[in-house]
Structure 1
């Protein structure tokens, strides 16, 4: 079954391309919902999946966090701030031969790779570190 290029899909693609900040699916939905109240979250999620499978956007899996999406579909690396969870591009050449350097893949056919570095962004480096208890308390207060 061929996927049609629907108006909703075009809207999702345009939004990701306009945001330029590695948004999560929820952030994309909230941005779209500001002007298009008829589009559902499920429609946004479904179209993000299709667009990433078709190569229109890049899906960035984030360990222990919300996956992000990128308008830049060229192979490149990312870094995630462990404090604010923002995702940034890494300024380094993509290592096209990295998969070939794996010595023992236990029979696994490695076809591609993605790397997400973790650390603190410049803004979060200026802020004092919160203890785990302070962070949990803050999250609980935000959800209430």
Structure 2
């Protein structure tokens, strides 16, 4: 799916919810779709502040909250006050570097069966799940090798 198609689709969802499309809102959405870095609200603010000098960090947070409520952005909270935000149109998982904190999407369809298996094994009605794998990314591995 192209970036423009994703932006257009998200804009249509906002319009359907009677939400005004401001230039700041559009820019935040576009940045989320383009970045693939799972940015924090501060990352987004720093990237866009030159285009919108009157925009506050609160504006970024409020829009991210709105996008999360509508359902096309997922907040990835790690308990250390560094929530990252992920624009998503399909279920996926994450590999997270323990050194540089880079987050990479992992698309592995077989993991979708985890909910059904968990329901069968536990009797729970599963509403959602999240899978994160932690390790050292190739860039950090290379840095470690070079340091030796």
Per the normalisation by structure 1, the TM-score is 0.75
Q: How does 1:122-133 map to 2 (within 5 A)?
A: 122-128=138-144
Q: CA deviation at 1:65?
A: 6.2
- The CA RMSD measured in Å over matched residues stands at 2.2
Paired residues, what number?
126
Separation (CA, whole Å) in 1 of partners of 2:34 and 2:87: 8
| Distance of aligned partners of 1:122 and 1:63 in 2 relative to their CA distance in 1, 3 Å threshold | farther
Aligned to 2:57: 41
Residue matched to 2:137: 121
Report the equivalent of 1:26.
42
Higher helix proportion? 2
CA distance in 1 between counterparts of 2:115 and 2:125 reads 9
Distance, in Å, in 1 between the alignment partners of 2:97 and 2:73 is 22
Alpha-carbon offset, residue 20 of structure 1: 2.2
> Unpaired runs of 5+ in structure 2?
1-16
Gaps of 5+ in 1: 130-144
**TM-score, normalised via structure 2 length:** 0.73
Please state if 1:104 is matched with 2:122. yes
State yes or no: 1:68 paired with 2:81: no
Deviation at 1:38, TM superposition (A): 0.7
SS in 1 for 2:122: coil
Tell me what 2:10 maps to.
Answer: none
Q: What residue number does 2:3 align with?
A: none
Mapped partners of 1:24, 1:67: distance in 2: 6
Q: Deviations over 1:92-138 (max 9, x none)?
A: 22522312222236xx5420111111100000012239xxxxxxxxx
